[in-house]
Structure 1
């Protein structure tokens, strides 16, 4: 078993949370790209709390770069000068939004009674529902932090990950640190999954469902003694076509740095051409993302058609789709990350394709479980897809066993019986 010190060293080199790979992966959805609308709530008395709530809402719905301090001030109902009395600028405000969520979650962990796992799961569900924007903020917007803020915040998040891992080992002492780390990732993914769809249930029912999914994921029968593996980093072969090389390299840069942070010059430099020469191959940066989206959704929908035509029951079809999606996400990490994170770039047509794909999964799950409503099915599908997407993008989880772990954990979330 890996010592605590050794584990921390591994975590520093290959951080396990999908939010902490240096540039902050930035998910735009569980393949829907939707961000939950602002919940209705009373205005808090404390002005700072008001500002943080408004900023969280706007950053999640519009994206950091599309939000100005004047937008936040308007949402709060104050002048811009009042905003600057609390925060020096938008960068400081983003850091405060993320830090506030982190501090609240870390304060919750020591109060959990692990002897009462059901009660613990319900409290975690309460936190997730009260901080429903957390997933999209961590995955997509945290990458916008300035380097020094990133360093400090990442250190706190890595510490949170280790705390969650320790809690998992308390309830599942048979697990090695790597195996427990996978379950900690699963818990965070389930919590964050509700940020990316607009399915609704009555509050008590939603709370109960999310707690059930958490327990199903945490107690999945995964291999107990997994050891850390250094991720393989083979560069592979370059395509003959310059256009294809530009597409592949651009996706890698978008996945690492974010669409807005990558210039035409950055992309052109990967194949030894000047930035303006990119226009000989693509009309714009946006066309690169759209081209990738058309290919990705075409491949997924083709497999969907084959699965539906070759299956005799909804449960059989769902199992086949899960197997294909897990392999697809693991093989095309950069592509999946860009499509999920750059939802604003894809536009309505691209999001409609993704929504349609998700709807087929939701329909199959509901059909396989008579009496299950569409909202419940959608929430479960969202959790399963988020688990797969997060695993594909998290360096720590690039493990030879991850495909089997995903099939097991996601299968439980989708109520698929074990083989």
Structure 2
């Protein structure tokens, strides 16, 4: 039977007018969330959201006093569902994971908004949703710990973070499954993650060689300097919040001189994203040269992708979050390159795991990539002395391709 999650009802009695107002607010949030996801916070207008709901802009402002308040409501509504999933699971791990998988299918946009658009909120609002996310991690860790008494509290938290990271897969990647089949696949991945026995025997991932290389040439022509400084700014603030003048000032290049190298800010973003795609492709080819068995190649891909994500986090953050701002033809071209890379992972996994069909294998691969992408961002995780080894172990275990899983 399909598991569904509903946020807890509002306390206290409501008048009919109050109920209508709550229903309308929910309609607005439901309409705004996919718009924020597809266009980014800065790319969405309040009039556009009002039109999607079938009301006027002044009517919209009677419910939300601005776009920030509406974005926070979208994030908060999604977190309500996640929190309700854990509460309704009643401390039973299987039920909790199934309800979380259901929430990922129903409210997948939440994780895009948290990862990409949350930085557009004011500091108090950011602190609020981050506090709620931390509580979600803690609550899920407790559920895992109740089943897995052999785990330390720290290890349980790593497993909880990995499970939550997989919930972004339906939003981050184009998946061939939907509804209950997608929920079952996500549940299988999260259940597998929760069987990891620890990190003591995980293959060590060495960042030394990757850290020595840089995607941008040091002491190279100004074009490279511009790309390097632009990547740092865009990763920190988001593409829409960075101006050409900001990039020029950071690179110590006057505005007019910058246009000798790039015709527009969009061209800079395109160059950065192409550079990221090239690095991922070079890394994929290297793994194919260094190993011959599909399982070994896949293991190398997981480890090297993790190393890249941790040592060049700015580039990866842009690659996973800012493609929405490219012109449609460039976005399609980059998506095709990215899809070909994922297709290779899927083909390898199907060889290693003949029990998986293509659609399910794609969910597994997307979930593993989400673990790496998401867990390489938080400072507390990224700076852990065993971060690369632990993240790679979690991603490999999600695929069930780690040593000892076969």
Q: 2:337 pairs with 353, 372, 378, which one?
A: 353
Structure 1 CA distance, aligned partners of 2:118 and 2:22?
27
Does 2:393 match 1:408?
A: yes
Structure 2 CA distance, aligned partners of 1:391 and 1:45?
35
Alpha-carbon displacement from aligned partner over 1:85-142 (angstroms, at most 9, x marks no partner): 222222211111111222332233233233x422222122112212111111111121
Q: 1:145 pairs with 102, 121, 141, which one?
A: 121
Does 2:300 match 1:320?
A: yes
Q: Which residue of 2 aligns with 1:305?
A: 285
SS in 1 for 2:252: coil
Alpha-carbon displacement from aligned partner over 1:222-248 (angstroms, at most 9, x marks no partner): 238xxxxxxxxx9x9993234333322
Does 2:363 match 1:379?
A: yes
Q: Which residue of 2 aligns with 1:8?
A: none
Return closer, same or farther for 1:124/1:355 CA change in 2, 3 Å cut-off.
Answer: same
Q: Which residue of 1 aligns with 2:66?
A: 89
Q: Which residue of 2 aligns with 1:344?
A: 324
Q: 1:101 pairs with 58, 73, 78, which one?
A: 78
1:264 touches 1:276 (CA, 8 Å); kept in 2? no
Where do 5+ consecutive residues of structure 2 fail to align? 1-20, 201-210
Q: Which residue of 2 aligns with 1:67?
A: 44
Return closer, same or farther for 1:373/1:149 CA change in 2, 3 Å cut-off.
Answer: same
Q: Which residue of 2 aligns with 1:292?
A: 272
Map residues 218-297 of structure 1 onto 2, 5 A cutoff.
218-223=194-199, 239-241=218-220, 242-297=222-277
Return closer, same or farther for 1:311/1:277 CA change in 2, 3 Å cut-off.
Answer: same
Does 2:198 match 1:210?
A: no
Q: Which residue of 2 aligns with 1:365?
A: 349
Structure 1 residue 311: Cα displacement: 4.5
Equivalent pairs, count: 367
Alpha-carbon displacement from aligned partner over 1:47-76 (angstroms, at most 9, x marks no partner): 221111001111112222221122212222
Structure 1 residue 388: Cα displacement: 0.8
CA RMSD of aligned residues (A): 2.8
Structure 2 CA distance, aligned partners of 1:303 and 1:246?
24
Where do 5+ consecutive residues of structure 1 fail to align? 1-43, 225-233
1:289 touches 1:339 (CA, 8 Å); kept in 2? no
What TM-score, normalized by structure 1, do the two folds share? 0.79
1:408 touches 1:418 (CA, 8 Å); kept in 2? no
Does 2:110 match 1:134?
A: yes
